[in-house]
Amino acid sequence: QKAEWAKLVNEKTVSKDGHHVELAANIGTPNDLQGVQANGGEAVGLYRTEFLYMGRDQFPTEEEQFEAYRAVLEGMENKSVVVRTLDIGGDKNLPYLKLPEEMNPFLGFRAIRLCLEEQDMFRTQLRALLRASVYGNLKIMFPMIATLNEFRKAKAILLEEKDKLQSENIPVSDQIEIGIMVEIPSTAVLADQFAKEVDFFSIGTNDLIQYTMAADRMNERVSYLYQPYNPAILRLVKMVIDASHKEGKWTGMCGEMAGDEIAIPILLGLGLDEFSMSASSILKARSQIRSLNKSDMEKLAEKVLQLQTNEEVIEAVKNVTSL
Ligand code: PEP
Ligand code: MG
């Protein structure tokens, strides 16, 4: 099987009936690019920048960040690179950023919430990204967005930094798309409103499932509630995709679900535009998508949205695919 998949490295990801989707990779450092190329990744769908900040005793400088972002953008040779701004807090802490203990870290002061307060840190990252933007096809996305106001504030800060750079005669790309992760149910529910203001969505199912089911993704005792195919999750995913398309925008997914063989047929049917996963899953996913008809998967998607349980959805997918 692996030998069959390997032949697909340079092939497009098209369904049997000719619908193209983008298969992208999740990366944590520029060193991961090798795996992306080796597995035929069409883009980087999630660059988790927090690894730049972890395992050290002070913030990375603007220059260090610039070098890392430039390396990824150049390495991808004008293919799309979605960089997520710092997503720290929750389960990920920095020894040099002292934050008060919280009762519920996953519901607390993290990601964009932290960045909007710690603006020096945030602005340094944005400047590094903006400076790197001329070296490739950069898209910037903000994590853990819960309200339109958070998005507007983050975007305003980004545009301020862009203006400053331009007034210093430092070149910045004019093509940078600005999007958000959809990881919080409030944002999925208001996706129609967000879709008018963002350039794209990327659905972070690892957190979206945790927050929708109110089940800590690290807690074994409630793992039975961690249900990717629960129709409640699937309906939220559909709302986001439909809202984006209505405004001529696109939706990707960068949670684990995007590379999951049960989820892929449904997501194809729902019209997901970009699937971002660990590089090692790309060829298998490409092989699977090439074996499916999008029109059949649309019918499957319509059907599973009406089912009641995670298990029923798994059954339904197995019934119409070769899984
Ligand atoms: C997610 O929440 O689905 C996601 C991709 O982000 P992380 O796993 O880094 O929280
Ligand atoms: Mg997340």
CA-based torsion, 24, 30, 35, 38: positive or negative: positive
pLDDT recorded at residue 189: 98
Helical H segments across the chain, by residue range? 2-6, 33-38, 50-53, 62-75, 111-117, 119-132, 148-167, 185-189, 191-194, 205-213, 231-246, 263-270, 282-290, 294-304, 310-320
d(CA 249, CA 42): 19
pLDDT recorded at residue 303: 98
3-state secondary structure at position 131: helix
Query: Residues lining ligand 1, judged by CB closer than 6 Å?
Result: 46, 48, 87, 183, 204-207, 254-255
pLDDT recorded at residue 91: 74
Residue 48 sits at φ, ψ, to 5 deg, of: -80, 100
Q: Name the residue among 205, 177, 178 with its Cα closest to residue 270.
A: 205
With contact defined as beta carbons under 8 Å apart, do 72 and 31 qualify? no
Residue 140 neighbours by CB under 8 Å, 6+ apart: 82, 83, 85, 126, 129, 158, 176, 177, 178, 179
Q: What is the ipTM of this complex?
A: 0.99
Question: In Å, how far from its chain's centre is CA 150?
Answer: 18
**Dihedral in degrees, nearest 10, Cα atoms 235, 237, 242, 244:** 150
- Compute the average pLDDT of residues 196-200: 98
Residue nearest to atom 9 of ligand 1 (CA): 48
Q: What is the mean pLDDT of the chain?
A: 97
Binding residues for phosphoenolpyruvate: 48, 84, 206-207, 217
Tokens 């944590």 found at: 28
Residue 126 neighbours by CB under 8 Å, 6+ apart: 85, 140, 157, 158, 161
- Compute the average pLDDT of residues 243-265: 98
Centroid of ligand 2 to alpha carbon of 6 (angstroms): 30
For residue 255, give the amino acid letter: G
Each residue of 127-165: pLDDT tens digit? Answer: 999 999 999 999 999 999 999 999 999 999 999 999 999
d(CA 259, CA 162): 35
85 pLDDT more than 80: yes
Candidate of 27, 141, 183 to mutate for ligand 1, largest count of ligand atoms within 8 Å of Cβ:
183
2 pLDDT more than 90: no
CA-based torsion, 93, 98, 101, 104: positive or negative: negative
